[in-house]
Amino acid sequence: MFDLKAHLKSLVEAHGPSGHEGPIADLLRNDWADLTDEIDQDGLGSLIGVKRATEPADPPRRIMLAAHMDEIGLMVSDVIDGFITVHRISGVDNRVMLAQPVIVHGKQPLPGIVASKPPHLLASGERKKYPGFGDLLIDVGLPAEEVNELVKPGDLITPDVEMIDLSGRKVAAKAFDDRACVAAMSFCLDQLRGMRHSWDVYAAATVQEETGYQGATVASYKIQPDIAIALDVTFAEQPGVDQDSTASMNGGPAVGIGPNFHDKLRDKLLETAKTYEIKTQDDPIAGRSGTDAWAIQVSREGVPTLLLSIPIRNMHSPVETLDMADIERTGRLLAHFIAGLDADFMAAIDWPGLADLKTAETPA
């Protein structure tokens, strides 16, 4: 039996910053073994699970789902007297670092703490500004000579935190951005096991989204999909984030509207949501979406693309929070949408105008 919450927990408690996603791919190879027919990996490391159509359309059609498996993280820059200095790989917020537990991925994983000066010793000026990355030190509690032996510049550093339950069905963890969406893809694949579908499904857990969607760029080239749906997280309502940029937690996936997305594809998806009474929300994005969808849309000859986003709080912190119901809604919606795709679907979402032109030509 596929256990969504246990799957999610193992994904977010594993460590895979951008460019170093191997451990996540290994987990997925195992968890997707029963959910897919084939598993492939591209040149940059994105893992691609293929679920073949139960009754293939003619010509065969492919839908690509994409969710990135990399997370933000830090890297060792130096070791001074047994203490570790850092620089960031992507997107980490220096203001949520002090006193946080971390794992330093040296020759062996070492539990560490981001050092914080006790309040007794702080000068008044120090209390007013967050330290920059250049000021941070990590203490792994071992003698200097041992640290020198075990830790080298270039080693990775990630938060050492578990996924925990909050009230209701809310949970908190690191790396929900974007492994919550990897889990939603898995949930979709599990739902599809009980359904008939005529399109092949390519589920891509992409690498290197946080550094500029390099993973989705090459994965979509390899897959060559007819349509694609990217999955990412978006900002849930919370103080300090303006209302128009947010989606409601427990409000269902936010569906992107804007130039990055295909309007007719969106209409079709919303029809499915209505039929199956799955809550969704609108997510207006005026230009660059900053997600895998931005890369996939312009792959090869262009791909009709959508973006579904799961609302989370505290993005890029060790306490990202979400509601499990939103992951389930996203996975269910995708499964029903895929089951509804037929041989005529590409014609159904074709641009208006060209069809009229052909009709006009026919009499001549």
Partner 1 sequence: MILEALSNAVGISGREDAVRKIILEAINGHAENIRIDAMGSITAVKKGTGENLPRVMVAAHMDEIGFMVTGFDGNGLIRFTSVGGVDARILPGLRVRLGDDLIPGVIIWTPIHHNRSQSVKGISDLRIDIGATKKEAASGKVSRGDRITFDSKFMEIGETMMRGKAFDDRVGCSLLVDILQGGPYPVDVLAAFTTQEEVGLRGAKVAAQHFDPDVAFVLEGTTAHDLPNPQADADDETDINPTARVGDGPVLSAMDSSMITDPRLFKFLKQTAEANDIPYQIKSRRGGGTDAGSIHLAKAGTSSAVISAPCRYIHSPAAMMSKNDYAAMLNLAQAALNAITFDTLAREN
Would you tell me which residues interact with partner 1 (CB under 8 A)? 78, 80-81, 83, 85, 91, 93, 95-96, 98-101, 111, 113, 115-122, 127-131, 134-137, 139-143, 146, 161, 164-168, 170, 172, 235, 237-242, 245, 249-250, 313-319, 321
Least distance to partner 1, CB of residue 182, Å: 20
To the query of whether residue 271 is one of the catalytic residues in this protein, the response is no
Smallest separation (angstroms) from partner 1 to the CB of 133: 10
Which residues fall within 8 angstroms of residue 280, CB to CB, at 6 or more apart? 252, 253, 254, 255, 270, 273, 329, 333
CA-CA-CA-CA torsion sign (257, 263, 265, 269): positive
Which residue's CB is nearer to partner 1, number 214 or number 321? 321
> Residue 29 class from Cβ within 10 Å (0-12 exposed, 13-18 middle, 19+ buried)?
middle
Q: Give least dist CB 81 to partner 1, A.
A: 5
**Cβ distance to partner 1 smaller for residue 60 or 284:** 284
- Residue written as tokens 């037929």? 342
CB of 313 to partner 1, least distance (A): 6
Which CA distances in Å does 80 have to 30, 98, 148, 157, 217? Answer: 40, 18, 9, 16, 39
For partner 1, the closer of residues 130 and 351 by Cβ is: 130
Nearest to partner 1 of 299, 321 (CB atom):
321
What's the DSSP call for residue 211?
A: T
Compare residues 13 and 40 and give the one whose CB is closer to partner 1: 13
Closest separation between CB of residue 311 and partner 1, Å? 12
Buried b (16+ CB within 10 A) or exposed e, 115-143: beeeeeeeeeeeeeeebeeeebbbbbebe
Catalytic residue among 38, 55, 162, 209: 209
Catalytic residue ranges:
209
